[in-house]
């Protein structure tokens, strides 16, 4: 394992795109975690005159329309959406692993039913489903996390099942069945470790898209509620001042894009690194 | 001036993790002229395919030609520009890779794929290219060229696919043809047809051939000269007959000695442990793949041909019985019935006096323990994410409840029994060589202390010398433990070497059975004769060629019902 993970690290750090992605993601995560220690003012406090331009001696990035420190709000603005996206997607991917692998292994009617449900969900436009859900169950962080989980679950099932299907016909699965291992034991002990790479990549890719969705919802007023700072929300709050104070829109937008671009680059690199590894294992014969 | 001259060729691969370069080909030199045939023999990993690619000025990613020269017509191919190389590849030199299914494009009709070559290189228009392709198909003995032309790769049998690839390689009448294990993916009779074709073409077209294989017998049949390679170096070279008759180096001697021969005398009656009473008794076994129902109308299966038809045989306690036949003959179906993965349509399977045929997956733990399986491809039968220790201790836990320290000790003991170091316990399967992997798989089977071991083509994925070693170890441990063995193989030489009794299967029917010495000395069924002739690869292969028509429909059937082939 150590040999293959060190190779994965090698490949990760090999391509400049991946490096940029990893650095961006690390930076964002560090800021999100340590933001409370870094911010000069409370993120919801009114501390100065409204609409001060960046470069002000007291307020590094100026203030917003009602006089809150914009630097503090930007640093704090990713915490909620990143948490919602990551927790939601993590839940989706873990559950999808169990369902996807079992569908591939058990097959038959169970597989059919699972996959048709998945197809049904996939045929709905994602943003529509999410907005209806939020409108129906109310705007809260918990509801958001659950809806993110539900909307990313079907796609993850599909990918993970496909990967598991390449493993099911292999003889090590047959050997386990002949040993009399239970279905659950085959799924967890034999198959799941062999789809782990796909699960990790799936998590990374879907998280980036979930962050976009959460931001879009906040922008539409269906996501995170004021006064909590959130990049999507901040863009929408500042759209009216776009000519007077364009930085109020551009800065949070830049934070969203840099995180999403970083995640995409990093997950691409991760997929390459892990994919290479998987290919080495099974295509040699 | 020779057509091809390779001087002191050195090719290195870079290790991704450490960045170090290691030599895969180390100072190889040879020359080849038109009409000559050179065989390059060695085990997997000895650098022979690397040379094949390098002749076309290509290296796998991470590989690099670090020294020496490859002179084609007196010019170094390494100095060629990309445009010049494009002229060279396909037009003046062509390559036939190992697996025709992966070297043809799935979604294109095979005719169009061959057309493409002459349209690009000879600038033929569509009509002329089609004519040319049809004539090539005719020359490569493809049945009904016009029909074959319209088929997709998967609609052809393995032998037909490989002939399509060869037709493509010949499209521009190259001066040099490189064949990289062209028959390894094919079964014995199909292999013979392809070999015969290649040999004919060489004689008729005067093309220079580089023939790469791990099978020494093939070079004897195909090539005038041979290079024997080990770890990137040439260890022996010369006229094939000479190398074959009187190998000088230790490695070549080992290779020649390891070839299991059908025509060799049967081994002297070994101290057999068989006691006479039938341990496994299969009576009038018939198996049909039934219909399977699914919500998805495209996934419903409706084939209804018997995969196994009224087969009876028995394995005595401690004895070894061989099941022989081509792919699609029903060998693997029988194996699946014996281990309980399939329920027979009719007939009985009795194990130690107990009817096990109808149990249908609900076998007792003890019964499962007593029948163990070793699969064909060790890389797929060992979980890539488990260390050898986990692989070996799991059956101990399941069958005997042994865990922790004692299980680890027992696992180490099992490895030692297979002449493997206990250090390997910490390794993952892909960190082992093919032979080591298969020995771990055998060790896993013996961890359960079985009474019957089912060996499903266990040597066909191994190199010849490794194969001999695995068989010897298996025989050894079998003698010590008194385990009976049902040995499934398409390799008659191997069967003759290890089995007390042999049963020959064709299209699900048992056509002949008896002691291997008798069956091979005086085969009574024409199919057995054909198998033996194909396996011994004598010069008198004419009867194979004449049996070709009979074999063709069988092959098509095998490839059109993928569910029942071997896994």
SS (H, E, C) A51-87: CCCCCCCCCCCCECCCCEEHHHHHHHCCHHHHHHHHH
Which of A3, A113, A281 lies at the smallest CB-CB distance from B384? A281
CB B228 within 8 A of CB B251: yes
B394 vs A: CB within 8 A: yes
A7 vs B: CB within 8 A: yes
Sort out which chain A residues have CB atoms less than 8 A from B430's CB and list them. 280-281, 284
Mind listing the pLDDT tens digit of every residue in chain B (567 residues)?
688 898 888 888 876 556 677 788 888 888 888 888 898 988 777 788 888 888 888 887 777 888 888 888 888 888 888 888 888 888 888 888 877 777 888 888 889 999 988 888 888 888 999 999 998 888 887 878 888 898 888 777 777 888 899 888 888 888 888 988 887 766 667 777 778 888 887 888 888 889 888 777 777 778 888 888 888 888 888 888 888 778 888 888 877 777 666 655 545 444 445 555 778 888 888 888 765 555 666 655 555 567 888 888 889 888 899 988 876 678 888 888 888 888 888 888 888 888 887 655 578 888 889 999 998 888 888 998 899 999 999 999 999 998 888 999 999 999 998 888 888 898 888 888 888 888 999 999 999 999 999 998 888 777 777 888 888 888 888 888 889 999 988 778 788 888 888 888 888 888 888 888 788 777 778 888 877 776 665 444 444 444 443 333 333 333 333 333 333
Which of A11, A174, A282 lies at the smallest CB-CB distance from B384? A282
Establish, for the pair of chains A and B, how many residue pairs have beta carbons separated by less than 8 Å: 80
Distance CA B475, CA B483 (A): 10
Residue A75 has pLDDT above 70, yes or no: yes
CA B289 to chain centroid, in Å, comes to: 26
Contact across the interface for B380 and A285, Cβ inside 8 Å: yes
Q: Which residue of A has its CA nearest to B19?
A: A10
The pTM of this model reads 0.69
A282 vs B: CB within 8 A: yes
Residue B308: in which H helix or E strand, if any? strand B306-316
Strand-pair partners of B94:
B177
CA B546 to chain centroid, in Å, comes to: 24
Mean pLDDT confidence for A249-253: 92
Which of A4, A181, A282 lies at the smallest CB-CB distance from B379? A282
Give the per-residue pLDDT at B265: 52
Sort out which chain B residues have CB atoms less than 8 A from A196's CB and list them. 385
Mean pLDDT confidence for A51-58: 81
Distance CA B42, CA B25 (A): 12
Mean pLDDT confidence for A118-132: 88
Q: List pLDDT tens digits, range A194-203.
A: 998 889 888 9
Reading the block at residue B328, the tokens are 């699609």
Give the per-residue pLDDT at B554: 38
Q: Give the DSSP per-residue string, B86-97.
A: HHHBTTTEEEE-
CB A147 within 8 A of CB A216: no
Give the per-residue pLDDT at B294: 58
B333 vs A: CB within 8 A: no
Closest CA to B222 of B254, B242, B243, B196: B196
Three-class SS state of A107: coil
Give the per-residue pLDDT at B124: 87
> To probe the interface with B, which of A2, A104, A171, A284 has the most B CB atoms within 10 Å?
A171
A120 vs B: CB within 8 A: no
Give the per-residue pLDDT at B521: 78
Q: List pLDDT tens digits, range B47-85.
A: 888 888 888 888 877 778 888 888 888 888 888 888 888
Distance CA B484, CA B444 (A): 16
Reading the block at residue B209, the tokens are 């051939």
Closest CA to A92 of A207, A193, A174, A221: A207
Give the per-residue pLDDT at A253: 93
Give the per-residue pLDDT at B260: 66
Q: Which residue of A has its CA nearest to B431?
A: A281
CB B226 within 8 A of CB B41: yes
Reading the block at residue A57, the tokens are 């001696």
Sort out which chain B residues have CB atoms less than 8 A from A169's CB and list them. 567
Distance CA A85, CA A99 (A): 21
The burial of B552, by beta-carbon neighbours within 10 Å (0-12 exposed, 13-18 middle, 19 or more buried), is given as middle
Distance CA B118, CA B376 (A): 40
Q: Which residue of B has its CA nearest to A14?
A: B16
Residue A70 has pLDDT above 50, yes or no: yes
Residue A278 has pLDDT above 60, yes or no: no
B295 vs A: CB within 8 A: yes
Q: List pLDDT tens digits, range A137-181.
A: 988 899 999 999 999 999 999 999 999 998 998 889 999 988 888
Distance CA B330, CA B323 (A): 10
Q: How far is A6 from chain B (nearest CA, A)?
A: 7
B428 vs A: CB within 8 A: yes
Q: Which residue of B has its CA nearest to A278?
A: B384
Distance CA B442, CA B414 (A): 9
Sort out which chain A residues have CB atoms less than 8 A from B381's CB and list them. 170-172, 174-175
Three-class SS state of B323: strand
User: Residue B352: left (phi > 0), alpha (psi -120 to 50), or beta?
Assistant: left
Contact across the interface for B567 and A116, Cβ inside 8 Å: no
CB B349 within 8 A of CB B338: yes
Give the per-residue pLDDT at B66: 85
Phi, then psi, of A78 in degrees rounded to 5: -95, -20
A181 vs B: CB within 8 A: yes
Tell me how many degrees the CA angle B489-B495-B500 measures, rounded to the nearest 5.
125
Ordered by where they begin, the domains of chain A are 3-39+59-283 (1.10.3720.10)
Distance CA A249, CA B56 (A): 57
Q: Which residue of A has its CA nearest to B395?
A: A179
How many CA atoms, within 13 angstroms, populate the side-chain half-sphere of residue A85? 27
Q: Sheet containing B63-72: which strands, arranged edge to edge?
A: B21-32, B4-14, B63-72, B75-76
Integer angstrom CA distances of residue B381 from A46, A139, B490, B560: 66, 51, 19, 25
Q: How far is A273 from chain B (nearest CA, A)?
A: 11
């Amino acid at each position: 394992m150590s040999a293959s993970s060190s190779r994965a690290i090698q490949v990760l750090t090999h391509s400049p795109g991946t490096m940029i992605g990893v650095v961006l993601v690390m930076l964002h995560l560090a800021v999100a975690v340590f933001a409370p220690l870094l911010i000069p003012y409370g993120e919801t406090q009114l501390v100065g005159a409204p609409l001060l331009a960046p470069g002000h001696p007291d307020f590094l990035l100026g203030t917003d329309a009602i006089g809150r420190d914009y630097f503090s709000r930007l640093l704090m603005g990713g915490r909620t959406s990143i948490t919602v996206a990551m927790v939601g997607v993590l839940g989706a991917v873990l559950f999808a692993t169990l369902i996807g692998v079992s569908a591939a292994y058990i097959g038959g009617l169970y597989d059919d039913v699972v996959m048709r449900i998945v197809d049904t969900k996939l045929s709905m436009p994602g943003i529509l489903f999410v907005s209806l859900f939020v409108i129906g169950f109310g705007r809260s962080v918990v509801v958001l996390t659950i809806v993110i989980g539900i909307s990313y679950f079907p796609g993850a099932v599909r990918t993970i099942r496909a990967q598991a299907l390449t493993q099911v016909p292999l003889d090590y699965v047959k050997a386990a069945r002949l040993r009399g291992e239970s279905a659950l034991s085959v799924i967890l002990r034999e198959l799941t470790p062999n789809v782990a790479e796909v699960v990790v990549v799936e998590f990374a890719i879907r998280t980036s898209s979930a962050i976009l969705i959460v931001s879009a919802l906040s922008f539409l007023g269906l996501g995170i509620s004021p006064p909590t700072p959130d990049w999507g929300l901040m863009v929408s709050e500042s759209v009216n001042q776009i000519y007077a104070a364009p930085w109020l829109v551009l800065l949070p937008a830049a934070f969203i894009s840099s995180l999403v671009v970083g995640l995409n680059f990093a997950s691409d690199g991760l997929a390459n690194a892990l994919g290479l590894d998987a290919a080495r294992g099974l295509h040699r014969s | 001036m020779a057509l091809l001259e390779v001087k002191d060729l050195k090719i290195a691969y870079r290790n991704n993790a450490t960045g170090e370069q290691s030599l895969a080909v180390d100072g190889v030199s040879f020359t080849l002229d038109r009409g000559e045939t050179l065989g390059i023999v060695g085990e997997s990993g000895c650098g022979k395919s690397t040379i094949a690619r390098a002749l076309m000025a290509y290296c796998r990613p991470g590989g690099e030609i670090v020294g020496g020269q490859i002179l084609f017509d007196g010019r170094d191919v390494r100095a060629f520009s990309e445009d010049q190389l494009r002229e060279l590849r396909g037009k003046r030199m062509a390559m036939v890779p190992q697996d025709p299914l992966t070297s043809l494009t799935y979604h294109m009709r095979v005719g169009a794929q061959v057309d493409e070559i002459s349209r690009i290189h000879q600038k033929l228009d569509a009509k002329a290219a089609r004519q040319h392709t049809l004539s090539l198909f005719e020359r490569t003995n493809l049945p009904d060229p016009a029909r074959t032309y319209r088929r997709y790769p998967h609609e052809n049998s393995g032998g037909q696919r490989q002939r399509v690839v060869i037709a493509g390689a010949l499209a521009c009448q190259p001066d040099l043809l490189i064949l990289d294990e062209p028959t390894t993916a094919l079964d014995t009779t199909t292999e013979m047809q392809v070999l015969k074709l290649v040999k004919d073409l060489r004689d008729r077209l005067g093309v220079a051939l580089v023939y790469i294989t791990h099978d020494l017998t093939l070079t004897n049949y195909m090539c005038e000269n041979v290079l024997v390679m080990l770890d990137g170096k040439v260890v022996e070279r010369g006229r094939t007959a000479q190398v074959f008759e009187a190998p000088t180096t230790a490695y070549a001697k080992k290779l020649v000695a390891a070839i299991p021969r059908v025509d060799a005398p049967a081994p002297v009656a070994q101290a057999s442990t068989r006691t006479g009473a039938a341990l496994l008794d299969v009576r009038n076994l018939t198996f049909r793949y039934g219909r399977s129902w699914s919500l998805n109308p495209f996934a419903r299966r409706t084939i209804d041909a018997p995969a196994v038809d009224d087969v009876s045989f028995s394995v005595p306690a401690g004895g070894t019985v061989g099941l022989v036949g081509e792919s699609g003959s029903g060998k693997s179906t029988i194996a699946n019935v014996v281990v309980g993965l399939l329920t027979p349509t009719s007939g009985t399977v009795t194990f130690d006096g107990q009817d096990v045929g109808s149990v249908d997956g609900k076998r007792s733990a003890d019964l499962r323990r007593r029948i163990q399986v070793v699969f064909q491809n060790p890389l797929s039968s060992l979980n890539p994410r488990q260390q050898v220790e986990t692989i070996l201790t799991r059956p101990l836990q399941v069958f005997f409840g042994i865990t922790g320290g004692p299980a680890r000790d027992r696992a180490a003991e099992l490895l030692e029994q297979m002449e493997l170091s206990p250090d390997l316990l910490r390794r993952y399967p892909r960190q082992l060589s093919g032979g080591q992997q298969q020995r771990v798989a055998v060790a896993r089977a013996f961890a359960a202390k079985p009474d019957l071991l089912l060996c499903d083509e266990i040597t066909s994925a191994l190199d010849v010398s490794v194969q001999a070693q695995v068989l010897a170890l298996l025989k050894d441990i079998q003698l010590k433990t008194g385990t009976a063995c049902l040995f499934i193989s398409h390799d008659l030489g191997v069967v003759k070497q290890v089995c007390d009794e042999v049963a020959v299967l064709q299209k699900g029917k048992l056509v002949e059975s008896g002691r291997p010495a008798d069956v091979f000395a005086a085969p009574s069924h024409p199919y057995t004769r054909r198998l033996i002739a194909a396996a011994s690869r004598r010069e008198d292969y004419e009867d194979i060629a004449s049996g070709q028509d009979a074999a063709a429909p069988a092959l098509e059937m095998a490839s059109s019902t993928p569910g029942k082939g071997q896994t």
